[in-house]
Amino acid sequence: MREGAGAQAGQGFELQQPQDKESVTAGETLNLTCTTSGDGPNGPVKWLKGWGSGNETIYDQTGSSSRVTRAMSGSDTDFTIHIRDVQPEDAGTYYCVKFRKSLEGVVVFQSGTGTEVSIRAKPTHPVVSGPDHRVRPGQSVSFTCTAGGFSPEDISVKWLRNEAPISAQPPRITPGRTKSSYDMSSTVVVALQKDDVCSRLVCEVQHPTLKAPLREVYELSKALRVPPSVHVVVDPPRPVEVNETVSFTCAVKGFYPGDVAVTWLENGTEVKVENNSRSMQPCGLFELRNLVEVQATAEKNGSVFTCRVVHDGQEPVSEMATLGIAAPAGDGLWDPSQMENGNLLHIYIVVGVVCAVLALLVAAILYLIRAKQSKGKSSPSARLHEPEKSSEAATQESDPNNLTYADLNFDRERKTIRRMVEMSQQSEYACIQTARPPATDDNLTYADLDMVHLSKAPKRPAPRPEEPGSEYASVQIPRN
């Protein structure tokens, strides 16, 4: 009892407020009971929320809120009231108070012990939010579940992925937008996979005011982007004949979402195609086949056909194939087997030529060495004798006086240069002279070729044998 309650007990006045605690769900009606008995002083009976300077008058006999009504209107002993459509902010302690009039004004005469009222508010339906952009398989993504306006603050959250529980941090509870209400936020991290285009993420909220949990479903496909695989198939796959029809098929498989654009390019120039087909796989992934047919002509031989795919506004993905046309040899058309065989033939020819040159060089070196050895003395010069051509070929072949020859003189180291010059009006010859390089050109090898005037002269006797000490060699070649 409050001030003045004990002082008036002898006069038989009594005020009863039997409810110590009362709990009601938001939106329902709160009933607060208060009755009096015996004679009391002049003064009103009121309902106050809270005590002291911060109290709030809920019911007054002279007027009150439209939500508050008396159970027994006009009664002098029953002051029970009804508060309709209670909200979380209606929670608090309520007092039934008897006032008396005095010279100082209206003062408290007697009051009840107070009723502690709690409002049970259901949480709002949960809301699940995901990333603001799609992500590729293998990436981890945060999802958040929120609910608010509930009271008391005891609340639990459970996350499920395809009805299987997954671990999450405890929910974060914060004061709500209204007095005595609360808000909740819970976050879970999920690593997305390709087959999650068919998966469901569930946020399940449990609260004392709920007979069954509140559930919100989030389709993981809204957060997932599966890029396509692109492959170009050529039919027939072999090089084709001229005027044969070739089909290029662009197979775009395993992508999500289904927003995709396919473009064909021939040597970089766009080709108009209208043959599209699309289907969905059981797991929600899409696939598409796009076909372009080409008439094989000689002009199109080696043309490159490119399938360019733009999926969900991302960077293009391209795959290309080349049109190969096979034709008889000499037509100049592309034939992979001919190209390969041709390359091998070129290699064989080059190798053969190199080997032949090397063999000739070796044979020449061996011949010179053997010629020097057979002479006993090295002879760095050679004379070539050739019979002169004439209409009287038959008689001249056996005539040693009608000869054409050349002297090849080579310098020998540390020996006097000997040049065999046979000037005769009956001879026809050339002299080729080699000189040693200057002493300053140590790194060079060269030969000086001196051409001697060729003259035609009457027949002369065959040249006599060379002196024993000469360094010449004579080779006689018969005229043809």
The yes-or-no verdict on residue 5 having pLDDT over 80 is no
218 and 285 in a single domain? The answer is no
Q: In the prediction, which pLDDT does 102 show?
A: 85
Q: What is the pLDDT of residue 280?
A: 72
- Return the number of other C-beta atoms located less than 10 Å from residue 294's C-beta: 19
- Quote the strand ranges of 207-344, DSSP E: 214-219, 229-235, 245-255, 260-266, 269-271, 276-280, 286-295, 304-311, 317-322
Task: Write the pLDDT tens digit of every residue in 190-228.
Answer: 999 999 999 999 999 999 999 999 999 999 999 999 999
Q: Is residue 348 part of a domain?
A: no
Check residues 403 and 72 and name the one with the higher pLDDT. 72
Q: Which of 71, 86, 120 is the last residue of a domain?
A: 120
Give mean pLDDT, residues 405-430. Answer: 44
Whether 433 contacts 450, CB under 8 Å: yes
Note the pLDDT of residue 453. Answer: 43
Neighbours of 78 (CB within 10 A): 14
pLDDT number for residue 349: 81
| 281 and 249 within one domain | yes
Is residue 68 included in any domain, yes or no? Answer: yes
pLDDT of 45-66, one tens digit each? 999 999 988 899 999 877 677 8
pLDDT band at 244 (very low <50, low <70, confident <90, very high): very high
Same domain, 183 and 244: no
> Rounded to an integer, what distance in angstroms lies between the CA atom of residue 55 and that of residue 92?
11
Domain ranges, residue 270: 229-322
Instruction: Tell me what percent of the chain is helix, strand and coil, each rounded to the nearest 5.
Output: 15, 40, 45
| End-of-domain residue from the set 72, 104, 120 | 120
252 versus 433: the higher-pLDDT residue is: 252
- Torsion over CA: 332, 335, 336, 342 (sign): negative
* pLDDT tier for residue 412 given thresholds of 50, 70 and 90: very low
Reported pTM: 0.58
How confident is the model at residue 367, as a pLDDT? 85
Which DSSP string do the residues of 342-389 spell out, in sequence order?
HHHHHHHHHHHHHHHHHHHHHHHHHHHHHHHHHHSS----EEEEEEPP
> Distance between CA atoms of 107 and 98, rounded to whole angstroms?
9
> Is there a domain that residue 366 lies in?
no
Asked if residue 454 belongs to a domain, the reply is yes
Q: Are residues 112 and 141 in the same domain?
A: no
- Indicate which CATH number applies to the domain containing 47: 2.60.40.10
> For 299-326, how does the pLDDT look when each residue is reduced to its tens digit (9 = 90+)?
999 999 999 999 999 999 999 999 998 8
Q: Measure Cα distances from 114 to 92, 313, 469 in Å.
A: 10, 66, 155
User: Rounded to an integer, what distance in angstroms lies between the CA atom of residue 210 and that of residue 203?
Assistant: 15
**What is the token pair recorded at 70?**
């008396």
Domain assignment present for 356: no
| Residue 119: closest CA among 69, 153, 143, 147 | 153
pLDDT at 249: 93
Among candidate residues 292, 304, 296, the one with its CA nearest the CA of residue 326: 296
In terms of domains, do 111 and 180 share one? no
Same domain membership, residue 209 and residue 244: no
Contact 55, 86 (CB under 8 A): no
Return the bridge partners of 143, or none: 188
DSSP 123-164: PPPPEEE--SS-B-TT-EEEEEEEEEEEBSS--EEEEEETTE
Q: Terminal CA-to-CA distance of the chain, rounded, Å?
A: 158
Report residue 392: phi and psi, to 5°. Answer: -95, 65
**Does 281 share its domain with 219?**
no
Is 329 within 8 Å of 341 (Cβ atoms)? no
Q: What is the pLDDT of residue 81?
A: 95
End-of-domain residue from the set 191, 223, 255: 223
What pLDDT does residue 73 have?
Answer: 85
25 shares its domain with 115: yes
CB-CB neighbours of 111 under 10 Å: 23
Comparing C-alpha atoms, which of 29, 18, 22, 113 is closest to residue 68? Answer: 29
Q: Which residue type does 113 have?
A: T
Q: Which amino acid is located at 169 in the chain?
A: Q
Query: Does pLDDT of 442 surpass 60?
Result: no
Residues 202 and 248 in one domain: no
Instruction: State the total domains in the chain.
Output: 4
Encode pLDDT of 449-471 as tens digits. 444 444 444 555 555 555 554 44
pLDDT band at 1 (very low <50, low <70, confident <90, very high): very low
